[in-house]
Amino acid sequence: MSSKELKFGIQSDLSVFTDTLVEMTWEEVKASGERGDSVIFPIAVVEAHGPHMDLSPDIYYAYLFSRFLKKNLYAKGINTVIVPPYYWGINSGTEKFPGSFTVRPETFNAIMFDIFSSLKKWGFSNVFIVNAHGDEKHTAAIEESINEIKQKLNMQVYRMDNLDIQIENKPDFPDQREERFNPDIHAGSIETATMYAFYPQKVRKEIALELKPQKEFDPLAYCGDPASFVLEKNIIEYFQANVELDSLKIEAILNNDRNI
């Protein structure tokens, strides 16, 4: 089940359903579960990203990363399906800004459990979470959900941004820009440059270039130096390396499971 036409660079398709389970028939989903295909689950939030971007960067990042991950895994002989992006997460850092939806941890956990219960019922047992939101309360809720799902549903669930396993022949990562403003954790140069590389229509470039560096989210809902996004030259190469590294991790996990 190969990924649809997909190349690194500007994406013309703005749908977050392309190449996901949503585009499959129920019979195709049934067959995928019976084959033992693995699941890729992009998780993000709807959140303020400064005055220079809309509320969608986390969603598009998690979704696009998942698509490239699926493509890489298919090239390694591993079939996967992508769950449509989940984006009702927890925003403790930006919840004061209009547009930053946040849900209670118990709500998040309940929805996650129900989603995984459906996947389990359809025959899926291995799920790899691509999380694009680093809020501590959000990631804590994911971990709590994972623990409950493993215990009650007997599924194997992995969070790729928190998965530390040894990989031989890791891909080469480009050097980071040494003079980058620190911290750069939200809607700063890296995130702005990433969105501009893949979805340039979602970056208000003229506004970004006028913004001053911020070390806190206040007052404009970003933390970093958005104006310097034009100096980030290796964004796509770094993204590619991350995709390849995660695909190698998944391959190692699945091979280990087969050998047990």
Q: What is the pLDDT of residues 122-164, one digit of tens each?
A: 999 999 999 999 999 999 999 999 999 999 999 999 999 999 8
What is the arithmetic mean of pLDDT over 182-189? 97
* Cis peptide bond N-terminal to 171, omega within 30: no
Rounded to an integer, what distance in angstroms lies between the CA atom of residue 120 and that of residue 192? 37
Is the predicted pLDDT of residue 25 greater than 90, yes or no? Answer: yes
Rounded to an integer, what distance in angstroms lies between the CA atom of residue 112 and that of residue 143? 11
Question: For 67-125, what is each residue's pLDDT tens digit?
Answer: 999 999 999 999 999 999 999 999 999 999 999 999 999 999 999 999 999 999 999 99
Is the predicted pLDDT of residue 253 greater than 70, yes or no? Answer: yes
Residue among 98, 130, 105, 134 at smallest CA distance from 223: 134
Q: In what order do the strands lie in the sheet with 156-159?
A: 80-82, 38-43, 126-131, 156-159
Residue 166 confidence class, pLDDT cut points 50, 70, 90: confident
Rounded to an integer, what distance in angstroms lies between the CA atom of residue 252 and that of residue 188? 33
Percent residues over pLDDT 90 in the chain: 93
Least confident of 2-6, 55-59, 153-157, 200-204: 2-6
Give Cβ neighbours of residue 191 (< 8 Å, ≥ 6 apart).
Answer: 49, 53, 57, 61, 224
pLDDT for position 1 = 46
Is the predicted pLDDT of residue 2 greater than 60, yes or no? Answer: no
Residue 224 confidence class, pLDDT cut points 50, 70, 90: very high
CATH class held by domain 21-255: alpha beta
Cβ-contact 142, 170 below 8 angstroms:
no
Q: What is the 3-class SS of the chain, one letter each residue?
A: CCCCCCCCCCCCCCCCCCCCHHHCCHHHHHHHHHHCCEEEEEECCCCCCCCCECCCHHHHHHHHHHHHHHHHHHHCCCCEEECCCECCCCCCCCCCCCCCCCCCHHHHHHHHHHHHHHHHHCCCCEEEEEECCCCHHHHHHHHHHHHHHHHHHCCEEEEHHHCCCCCCCCCCCCCCCCCCCCCCCECCHHHHHHHHHHCHHHECHHHHCCCCCECCCCCCCCEECHHHHHHCCCHHHHHHHHHHHHHHHHHHHHHHHHHC
Percent residues over pLDDT 70 in the chain: 97
User: Which tokens belong to 32?
Assistant: 């995928």
Residue 260 confidence class, pLDDT cut points 50, 70, 90: very low
pLDDT for position 90 = 98
pTM here is: 0.95
Residue 256 confidence class, pLDDT cut points 50, 70, 90: confident
